[in-house]
Amino acid sequence: MRPAVLLLALILPVPLMAQQRIDRRMAVSSTASIRINDLVGMVRLVGWDRDSLVVVGELPARAGQLYFGGSTDAAKVGLEGTDTGSVVTSATLEVRVPKHARVSVRGAVVSLDAGGLEGDLDFITTAGRLHVEGAPRTVTAETLDGNVEVAGPVASLRVRTAGGTVVLRGVRGDLTVTTVSGAILIGGARISRARLETVSGEIAWKGAIERGGTLDAQTHSGNIELRLPPTLGADLELSAPSGAITSEFTLKGKPSASGTLRTSIGDGGAAITARTFRGRISLLKQPEVDANPAAPGGISGTSR
């Protein structure tokens, strides 16, 4: 290489790694099964009224190559050749699907923002987070360290996380939430069945329980705060061997030597079980007119 050319090559800035511009489209049925695998970075999943699957956005070169295809009833989107030696966080994709589609998302370092869905959503990631708004029929989510936030009248919800915080607003029907150290914060719920379980996290519940419904909240070392409608009728089993049980409701009886209190409020009907080995249990009355019914309870600095 001539000296002048070599000098020019040395002083000119090195161009940034090329971005892949993505724009792929295909027709699918309104209730298609769509699998989204091995994506990275941030994915915006949007349900819309068109019978088509669209993927647009940008991927850095080390994110690999997009594969895209399938039939009208079953389609697949994903990446191959991803550089797994580095975490790719700059990738941004928007995926549009029919709002009644059944969508499955899998990825080690993918985070998902979803809205407009009315079908089924299944999401599993290691390091990503999940944010859902709207009214999917079902949501199943599993993440190791990411937070999970769901806002809307989801009829059936299953969430499992190790260290992430779970925040639910306005959920309906049947829900199960399990964490290891993450807090479980729920506001504006109206459920027929709820099971909330964490090892060291706290549980804050604000919502209603249908007559005949059940709420089961358990934590080993966290506090439990239940904000209930003042007119709720429920049979209660409360257990806090190492902490106090306090209530704004009038409760009959006293805790046993083991720290368990079985009592009722109103005319019964619903069934509430709350157990914490090292924490305390608080029963609070929701205001008659709640300015923000979807806000979670007051544990860990959340808004009241």
- Residue 35 sits at φ, ψ, to 5 deg, of -105, 130
Distances (CA, A) of 286 to 46, 151, 207, 225: 34, 20, 8, 12
Q: What is the mean pLDDT of residues 134-141?
A: 96
Residue spans of the domains in the chain: they are 147-304
Q: pLDDT digit string (tens) for 79-106?
A: 887 765 555 566 789 999 999 999 999 9
pLDDT attached to residue 137: 96
**Distance between CA atoms of 128 and 172, rounded to whole angstroms?**
25
pLDDT attached to residue 226: 98
pLDDT attached to residue 117: 98
Q: Which of 67-76, 80-89, 92-101, 259-268 comes out lowest in average pLDDT?
A: 80-89
Q: Which of 164-173, 200-209, 244-253, 269-278 comes out lowest in average pLDDT?
A: 244-253
- Residue 240 sits at φ, ψ, to 5 deg, of -145, 75
Higher pLDDT among residues 300 and 128, named by residue: 128
Mean pLDDT for the chain overall: 88
Q: pLDDT digit string (tens) for 174-186?
A: 999 999 999 999 9
| Distance, C-alpha 24 to centroid of its chain | 28
3-state per-residue secondary structure call for the chain: CCHHHHHHHHHCCCCCCCEEEEEEEEECCCCCEEEEECCCEEEEEEEECCCEEEEEEEEEHHHCEEEEEECCCEEEEEEECCCCCCCCCCCEEEEEEECCCEEEEEECCEEEEEECCCCEEEEEECCCCEEEECCCCEEEEEECCCCEEEECCCCEEEEEECCCCEEEECCEEEEEEEECCCCEEEEEEEEEEEEEEECCCCEEEEEEEEEEEEEEEEECCCCEEEEECCCCCEEEEEECCCCCEEECCCCCCCCCCCCEEEEEECCCCEEEEEEECCCCEEEEECCCCCCCCCCCCCHHHCCC
* AA letter at 137: R
pLDDT attached to residue 219: 97
**Distance between CA atoms of 183 and 178, rounded to whole angstroms?**
10
**Which pTM value belongs to this model?**
0.88
pLDDT attached to residue 62: 76
Q: Is the pLDDT of residue 221 over 90?
A: yes
Q: What is the mean pLDDT of residues 43-65?
A: 91
Is the separation of the CB atoms in 200 and 182 below 8 Å?
A: no
Is the separation of the CB atoms in 118 and 134 below 8 Å?
A: yes
Query: Using only C-alpha atoms, what is the Rg of the chain?
Result: 24
Q: What is the mean pLDDT of residues 249-258?
A: 85
Picking from 120, 36, 25, 123, the residue whose alpha carbon sits closest to that of residue 76 is 36
